[in-house]
Amino acid sequence: MPKIWSLNWQRNCAIKFITYAKLCWRFNQIHRIFPVLYGYLFDIYTFIYRFVQRALTFRSLHCLRFLNQKVVLMKRSMLALLIAVVSTGAAANSYQNESSVDYGNSEINGVDLDLWQLKHQYFFNAVDTSGNTPRAEAAFINKNASVFGTLSRLSADSEDQNGWSVGGEYMDQSHNFYGKLEWLHYSGTDYQEVDGTVGYFISNDWLVGAIFEHSRPDQGGSSTNYGVMTKKLWDLGTGDMINLEANILDYRDDSATRYGVGADYYFGKNFSAGVGYQWISDGVLSESEDSLSLRTKWFALPNLSLSASVAFDALETGDDVYQVGASYRF
């Protein structure tokens, strides 16, 4: 590669021009005394000057040509990487890892909240997506066990709070039992939370289970809430499917119960739109707090999905929550 100083050939030429002017003055003095000698010296210097100038120009052009080749190679490498990702996605009929990023925004008492979350999930066996099952439900239908971990960052004005969690989900084709456990901790605090589900598959596409939420706040003490849940995938026989979910969780310390129902319509394998409704009350038909949510998910590629949701008057914040996300499978 050419030397770095060759890029400043204009400056070098200017310096040489000044030197050339000084020499011209000296040559003028010589010309007055030795006219013949002046002619020889002038021809020699002119030849040397033009040779050096052309050499510097050549080296500069060579350097620019070299840099241009490097830029072209970088562009080709990036294009090849993009083509590889797209090609891999187009031919993907299975995956064993899924990484996702989500961003949410809401308010609490006029304070703006921003939540970022990174999640990675590893499946012990490859998840098959070649059938007619929606891609979002492939692991559920195929009963693929996995472990996962999340990192989250909650920002409120000038304060930040980091959190992380680890967990696992167990199910297998050889039996109908189901289990899920997740442990959550916030950095710099003593707060901990453990959520779990123990269930049974009534059929290959219908799960019922018992759930619990155990929390231990900073102030000490702890509380455990218990409930039930169910999830059912209904095949319409047209290539479309409907996902139905419901849960009930009893808040023992508050003498209240949280109810939740939801449904997602899968338009083929790649796109879904859904709605959810949650409410808290001391009876099924009377609510003291409630929240309506809308959600959608789209697999732009077999291994790349985009999602968005909005929850109106979310139970967690009392205000609207907007969320967008993306996930990549490999």
pLDDT at 34: 53
259's CB contacts (< 8 A; 6+ apart) are 247, 248, 278, 279, 280, 281, 284
At 116-146, the pLDDT tens digits run 999 999 999 999 999 899 999 999 999 999 9
What confidence score (pLDDT) does residue 1 get? 41
Mean pLDDT for 162-176 is 97
Per mean pLDDT, which range of 73-82, 99-108, 244-253 is the poorest? 73-82
Q: What is the mean pLDDT of residues 80-103?
A: 74
* β-pair type (111-128, 177-186): unpaired
Q: Look at 30 and 120; give whichever has higher pLDDT.
A: 120
Q: CATH topology for 95-329?
A: Porin (2.40.160)
Q: Who wins on pLDDT, 202 or 286?
A: 202
Q: So what's the pLDDT on residue 98?
A: 98
**pLDDT given for residue 49 in this prediction:** 60
- Kindly report the three-state secondary structure assignment for every residue of the chain: CCCHHHHHHHHHHHHHHHHHHHHHHHHHHHHHHCHHHHHHHHHHHHHHHHHHHHHHHHHHHHHHHHHHHHHHHHHHHHHHHHHHHHHHHHHCCEEEEEEEEEEEEEEECCEEEEEEEEEEEEEEEEEECCCCCCHHHHHHHHCCCEEEEEEEEEEECCEEEEEEEEEEEECCCCCCEEEEEEEEEECCCCCEEEEEEEEEEEECCEEEEEEEEEEECCCCCCEEEEEEEEEEEEECCCCCEEEEEEEEEEECCCCEEEEEEEEEEEECCCEEEEEEEEEEECECCECCEEEEEEEEEEEEECCEEEEEEEEECCCCCCCCEEEEEEEEEC
* Crossing angle for the helix pair 35-91 and 9-33, to the nearest 10 degrees: 170
Q: Residue 48: pLDDT band by 50, 70, 90 thresholds? A: low
93 CA to centre of own chain: 22
Report d(CA 236, CA 267) in Å as an integer.
11
Indicate the average pLDDT of the chain: 84
Residue of 164, 198, 170 whose CA lies nearest to 183: 164
What are the sequence ranges of the domains in the chain?
4-85, 95-329
Location of structure tokens 């007055």: 32
- Whether residue 178 contacts residue 199, with contact meaning beta carbons closer than 8 Å, is answered with yes
How high is the pLDDT of residue 263?
98
CA angle at 104 for the pair 192 and 282, rounded to the nearest 5° = 60
Q: Which of 23-37, 64-78, 291-305 has the highest mean pLDDT?
A: 291-305
pLDDT tens digits, 195-239:
999 999 999 999 999 999 999 987 777 899 999 999 999 999 999
pLDDT bracket for residue 78 (50, 70, 90) = low
Percent of the chain with pLDDT over 70: 71
Q: b/e per residue, 123-147, with b = 16+ CB within 10 A? A: beeebebeeebbbbbbbbbbbbbbe
